[in-house]
Amino acid sequence: SGVADRLAAGVTAIYTTSTAFAAVKEGGEVVTWGDPEYGGDCSGVADRLAAGVTAIYSTERAFAAVTEGGEVVTWGDGHLGGASSAVADRLAAGVTAIYSTEKAFAAVKEGGEVVTWGDPDEGGDCSGVADRLAAGVTAIYSTRFAFAAVKEGGEVVTWGDPDEGGDCSG
């Protein structure tokens, strides 16, 4: 493989999409391989993945890495979370955790603000409940195509595909 020499030592964790891998090495360098359209090629953001990555999250076809400063770096299928330019300013710092459905990501920032991207019908668009996700979220859970956030005090806020749990009003 073209990356075998970079995987010979120092790997601390491996993450997956459905057909690609991303390894994090000591020092936070990321090495990817597999289907390029599903995250196996990170060359477009490689400079931002050379060091300092602390964790990687994935959808079916995209990766989202979090750096030591809480910046999020994404790659893979743009429609399924690999493109985050629309929310990049909100993902530049302060992200503490990322959750995913098969096709979208939800990041929680310091203070409990939620930022979403990816397939808008499968959890990537939380605009209908954004006012309730502006602060205070402590955890997020997901199905294949929907998210449920738990806030301080125990309130649950849902979004995504209504048939997959994205609507708890009924």
For residue 14, how many other CB atoms are within 10 A of its CB?
12
Identify the CA nearest to 82 among candidates 109, 115, 66, 105: 105
Identify the CA nearest to 113 among candidates 165, 49, 157: 157
pTM over 0.85: yes
Query: Average per-residue pLDDT in the chain?
Result: 96
SS3 label, residue 93:
coil
User: What pLDDT, in 10s, does the model give residues 94-133?
Assistant: 999 999 999 999 999 999 999 999 999 999 999 999 999 9
